[in-house]
Structure 1
Amino acid sequence: MSTEPPETPEDGEPTSADAAPAEGTRVSEAEAELAAQRLERERIEQRKAERQGPIAAGTKLSGTAADLLAAVRAVESGEKPAATVFEEARPAPRRPAPEPVRPAPAVTSDPVVPAAGAVEEMRGVLAQGGVPEGLAVRAAEELGEGGAGLLRSDPWQLLRIPGVRPGQADGFARALLGAGAGPDDGRRGRAVAGWLLEQAALAGHTVLEMAALADALGRQGVPEPEGAVQDAISEGDVLVFQDAVGEAGEDEEQPVRVLVGLERYAMAEESLADGLARLVNSVPKQDGGSEEWERAAASAEGSAGELVRAVAGHGLVLHTGGDAASAEPAALLDAAHGLGLRAWAATHAPAGRARFAALVEGPGVATVAGLLSGAEGPGRDADGALDLDLLVVLDAPQLDVESAALVTESLPDGARLVLAGDPGVLGSVGPGRVFGDLLAARVCPQIASRRPDPGPLGELVSGIGVGELPQVAAPGKEVVIVPVRDAGEAVHRTVQLVADSVPRAIGVPAEETQVITPGHGGAVGTRALNAALKERLNPGPGRFGGFDPGDRIAYSPAPGRTLPGRVVTADGEGLHLECGGEEIVVPRERVESSVRHGWALTAHQAVGCRWPAVVVVLPGDAAQALSRPWVYTAFGRAGRHLSVVHGVEQALPRAVAEVTAKPRTTRLPVLLAPQVPAGAGG
């Protein structure tokens, strides 16, 4: 590994889409994402309607757990407003996995826009509480019809608007309620509990342990946090679960843990467990016959043949490997097409779709959002299921519980699902640990690719994956370390690398070089780096909401989703972008909340994408943010060249060796266990 930069001449230096397209045109990624979200909400409402049965009493409990169950029983008896609250004393034999709730084909029209009167009413109540009027449209969408009245009666519902924090909601409440807005107000405790669970979902949790939520409420100034949780359960704002932990001895009570969560994610995780169990326990449709499948497997190379054989006889298969391993799902897709199967693959971004499509011989590659919304892919059959026999989902670690649930429930009976991805990368931005939970549960065949990523970059990333930071030989300057002493030098050298050194010494132009840094803020965060890179590469007044034609951007059509692209122009419709070959128009009122400059991204924003050259910036204050998955993800985005602007000294090898992924609290393994025995199908 070289420790000198490429030759230099000097020393130094969380959404909306445009109008619905005409019939026959490609629907944008943003429209597809929004349509899929609407479909998910409709599906959860269907699930809620089905879950109206009685709630079984739990095992003997005491203390906080007993109080929680008492609150649940109050809901059941009608003493409190009815809500979908349930607990499970211990795993019991579950009914056979039901037929999935088939979502209706999605409509790809624009999202519902709040009525002008509702927005004006919202603007009035926000202004009364000292909240910027720019939030009016977002608040009207989030809170729905009558949202202004809701805020007047319960100002802390402002926390349902993404980006609002408890302190801001407190100020809003004081402005509206005066002295009556105190920290002990039950409305505040319930709203903050919901907000904390939403924040936990952003960190990957689908539920929290009762003690963790109570502790977090206490840190937010809620006087009686356990009582606030009970109140939130009684009012139906959160759900309570009781999951068995370990095995109970003879004459011993079953040990349990009490969890709380939001209905949205609880329904999605349970729906996902049912859908996965249906796939694992079903017999795949016998298309082609065993002899044809075996011939297809024999013609594939190495572990690609193992993947074909596993898919031949199982409804759910997991495939693991790095970037080079994507050739194996591609070989599977080609083999399935050769057998006459209706086979499709889905990636998480248009760039990934184009990259994978180049590996397969025919059509059949879409994005996950486009597939689910109907904007891309085979469409749906008369029952509402996807009209296919085999679906391969790439970048599977990026699946959160909601998108994964919609994928599984959209598959027809007898279909096969392959989840493929690199378990070493950062997990989904949304809640859940779907791929990791399934790998740990061992409920289906797992095929590990033996195809290594090539060259010095492949050797480096492979070493990081096992906790080592190897010194690799890089005769072609594939890997370069650029030491820096402080933040100012880090910014200076980053701009020099992107604008001059990498294009001249490596032959990769600036528009194909991506900067990755740990965070948005700080002296070397994405904001500072993007400002410096814009000044050097595309200076301009930023007359279109801070942007100019030619600016590289990161567009977020939905929370947790990032599409790299560039600005084309702007007009009365909004900001016109090009993202992965698709044209997107972002209305003016959405630009500030959904578009950022994108010469520099975080590793979470960069997951699922690759660039010919990557500059990873590690300033001295980034040491605490580093982990093995972060470094593995950031370094692994480079195709031909990686420069590391290195200011963290020994914190980098220490993070790779010692700092693993943060644990996520989920229920998927518990929900799967009664339905699918461990090792089933393997």
Structure 2
Amino acid sequence: MAEASIPQAGTEEGAKVATAAASGGGPVERTRAVLAAMGAPEALAAPLVTALGPAADTELTADPWRLLTLPRITPEQADYCARRALGDAASPDDPRRGRALVAHLLRRAAREGHTALEEQRLTAALRSAQVRAPAPALAAAVEDGGVVVYEAVEEPDDDFGFDDGEAPEMPDPDRYYALARMGRAEQALGAGISRLTASGEPIMDAYTAAETVEAAGRRLGADVAPETAAALVAVALRNVCVLTHGGGAQAAIAHVLACAEAIATDSEVGIAVAAPTAQAAAALNDAIAALDGDTEVRAVPLSRLLECRAPGEFARTARNPVEAGLVVVAGAMALDVEHAAALVDACANGTHLVLIADPAQAPSAAPGQVVADLVASRTVTVAALPGAPDPDSDPLARMAALVADGELGAVEAPGREVVVVPAGSAAEAAHRTVQLVTDSIPRAVGVPADQVQIISATRGGEAGTDALNTACKQRFNPGPGALAGLDPGDRVLIAADGPGHCAGDTGRLRAAGPDGAEVELADGSVATVSDPAALRPGWAITVAAAHGGRWPAVVAVFPPETRGSRPQVYTAVSAPLKHLSIVHAAGPALAQAVLDSATITRRTRLVQALRES
């Protein structure tokens, strides 16, 4: 796609594209021919057919800028191919180009976690891409159906008055653009939360709920903290609650779930508990099992609660809701807009929905900041749970608390619960990391290597996830990579929802068959992943992929090129249950980032959607 190779005679190239589109063969072969004629890599054919459908060749012939549907394609590359296909007819102001650029910019924003962009921001970006008239481009994107636009008028600080008998002028509305799927999910989530808050009644009155919690505490042989008891009364009274906590709150969360089960049982409404991933659900169930007394509540991965059939497709919907009057989701900071919308859609009118979240964590890996927006909207009940009962005796909780307060410091850990390993380079960081997993942690801490999760702040570089996965595969399970670079016995990360598995699940690849790859998950279940493209090497994963997961031991790696933030570092250091090793090669810049970069800002519309509803 080199610019120097652009031919001068565009008409001839356009004829080649049209001829290629008319050639025989299947969708991929036809698309490959069109790509070759416009100077694009033929390897893009299969991804384009997946993205655009079997008529991808026809769409590309009519609109070469459809190439921008693929995230790896840049506007400059698409422009080059368009000139090959269209010749002099290719113009920076071509409506097809503007339409494609709008969707491209929104997809790029979604990869960064945003759900919508303001019109002014989009307009500026389009002008930077030489679109002289952004308005027609925006209109074309909306008309195409892949983009939606929303209008909002800022509420005045005081009441409108009628001076001199004249009505005041209404301000011009602000416009926000979103990918259609994302925008509709966020709008549906706002409407669904409003439906729940307006449709239900208390499960119990406050006095009865307090008595039930007290009795449950006696049965568990534990003193339920006053903050936990107050939060549970709110759960019984209010239809949507956010319960916040910090590091080391496993006991408080287990008490909440056990007492919530007592409330649901005594009121005969039933309870369902979910966590973002199989490993998070397993950790939650271990914490519940550690309580004294009998409690039958068990957490399941969210995709199983919603009975996922395929990515974005769930059996549990408004027509087939979850059969429980009390639905609790722990680890709720991992909830993105689309999963949250599916969850709320699966809650029948009158259901009490409880989200348990650690607000110091980074927002979800996928677009949105659901919990933060719910809290900011002031439309739901928010209550705080207590932290670790004895922070001085819990080095992991103390480390998490330090980072949450903006300090990347050392903590005393007589049981080697927290270890900081300095490294002078990326190569040394990689060496130390593999050494920790293969030898130091199993020997000194007693956690087997297959229960140690590496979380790296970067993907590239000598100490990024790609390089670390290569090193771990060579060390633990060398093989030919028969299944898209993977072999049975490999540790894998699942990157998409499906029947029996969630995006973010880690496990061990057991076998590959005609129906897909069998992956043994942390909770002992075996999921069949039908699409091999949804599997990644999983010895080392990024912070974003680790969101919502819990593991017995974690090696958090910060290579020299790390450009972190407090929420990202906190998410990594709060993932372990027993042991944390920090491999630190980022120098003083990382501590400065933890101090200065206290939040991750995302542009979303959920607060506005909630207030509109």
TM-score, normalised via structure 1 length: 0.75
**Residue 295 of structure 2 is aligned to residue 295 of structure 1:** no
- Give the whole-Å Cα distance in 2 for the aligned partners of 1:574 and 1:380: 24
Aligned pair in 2 of structure 1 residues 586, 385: CA closer, same or farther (>3 Å)?
A: closer
Task: Find the counterpart in structure 2 of residue 448 from structure 1.
Answer: 384
Higher RCO (C-alpha 8 Å, min separation 6) = 1
Task: Find the counterpart in structure 1 of residue 607 from structure 2.
Answer: 669
Aligned pair in 2 of structure 1 residues 542, 674: CA closer, same or farther (>3 Å)?
A: closer
- Give the whole-Å Cα distance in 1 for the aligned partners of 2:132 and 2:78: 17
Classify the secondary structure of the residue corresponding to 1:447.
strand
**Residue 304 of structure 2 is aligned to residue 370 of structure 1:** yes
Tell me by how many angstroms 1:608 deviates.
1.4
* Contact kept? 2:458, 2:558, Cα under 8 Å: no
Residues 540-549 or 412-421, more deviating: 540-549
Q: How does 1:277-676 map to 2 (within 5 A)?
A: 277-284=194-201, 286=203, 292-299=208-215, 300=217, 301-302=224-225, 303-322=227-246, 323-324=249-250, 325-339=252-266, 340-358=268-286, 359=288, 361-363=295-297, 365-373=299-307, 383-452=319-388, 455-557=394-496, 561-571=503-513, 574-580=516-522, 581-586=524-529, 590-591=531-532, 593-622=533-562, 625-675=563-613
Aligned pair in 2 of structure 1 residues 557, 342: CA closer, same or farther (>3 Å)?
A: same
* Contact kept? 1:379, 1:386, Cα under 8 Å: no
**What amino acid is the match of 1:268?**
A
- Give the whole-Å Cα distance in 1 for the aligned partners of 2:475 and 2:275: 33
Classify the secondary structure of the residue corresponding to 1:626.
coil
Q: Write out per-residue CA displacement over residues 120-155 of structure 1, whole angstroms, 9 at most, x where no aligned residue.
A: 544443454455555545433432353332222112
**What amino acid is the match of 2:511?**
T
Aligned pair in 2 of structure 1 residues 450, 382: CA closer, same or farther (>3 Å)?
A: closer
Classify the secondary structure of the residue corresponding to 1:242.
strand
Q: How does 1:4-23 map to 2 (within 5 A)?
A: none
Tell me by how many angstroms 1:470 deviates.
3.9
Aligned pair in 2 of structure 1 residues 546, 243: CA closer, same or farther (>3 Å)?
A: same
Classify the secondary structure of the residue corresponding to 1:621.
coil
- Give the whole-Å Cα distance in 2 for the aligned partners of 1:225 and 1:252: 27
Tell me by how many angstroms 1:274 deviates.
1.4
Tell me by how many angstroms 1:177 deviates.
3.1
Equivalences, count: 553
**Residue 194 of structure 2 is aligned to residue 258 of structure 1:** no
Classify the secondary structure of the residue corresponding to 1:446.
strand
**What amino acid is the match of 1:669?**
V
Q: Write out per-residue CA displacement over residues 192-225 of structure 1, whole angstroms, 9 at most, x where no aligned residue.
A: 1111112212222221112211222234443444
Q: Write out per-residue CA displacement over residues 6-48 of structure 1, whole angstroms, 9 at most, x where no aligned residue.
A: xxxxxxxxxxxxxxxxxxxxxxxxxxxxxxxxxxxxxxxxxxx
- Give the whole-Å Cα distance in 2 for the aligned partners of 1:161 and 1:131: 12
Q: Write out per-residue CA displacement over residues 39-93 of structure 1, whole angstroms, 9 at most, x where no aligned residue.
A: xxxxxxxxxxxxxxxxxxxxxxxxxxxxxxxxxxxxxxxxxxxxxxxxxxxxxxx
**What amino acid is the match of 1:245?**
E
Task: Find the counterpart in structure 1 of residue 13 from structure 2.
Answer: none
- Give the whole-Å Cα distance in 1 for the aligned partners of 2:345 and 2:55: 33
- Give the whole-Å Cα distance in 2 for the aligned partners of 1:448 and 1:632: 19
**Residue 127 of structure 2 is aligned to residue 211 of structure 1:** no
Classify the secondary structure of the residue corresponding to 2:306.
helix
**What amino acid is the match of 1:583?**
V
Classify the secondary structure of the residue corresponding to 1:673.
helix
Tell me by how many angstroms 1:446 deviates.
1.2
For structure 1, the residue ranges without an aligned partner over 5 or more in a row are: 1-115, 676-682
* Contact kept? 1:517, 1:603, Cα under 8 Å: yes
Q: How does 1:178-217 map to 2 (within 5 A)?
A: 178-217=87-126
Classify the secondary structure of the residue corresponding to 1:617.
strand
Classify the secondary structure of the residue corresponding to 1:403.
helix
Aligned pair in 2 of structure 1 residues 362, 122: CA closer, same or farther (>3 Å)?
A: farther
- Give the whole-Å Cα distance in 1 for the aligned partners of 2:134 and 2:171: 26
Tell me by how many angstroms 1:672 deviates.
2.1
TM-score, normalised via structure 2 length: 0.82
Aligned pair in 2 of structure 1 residues 284, 133: CA closer, same or farther (>3 Å)?
A: farther
Task: Find the counterpart in structure 1 of residue 14 from structure 2.
Answer: none
**What amino acid is the match of 1:368?**
L
Pick aligned residue for 2:192 from 275, 280, 298: 275
Classify the secondary structure of the residue corresponding to 2:383.
strand
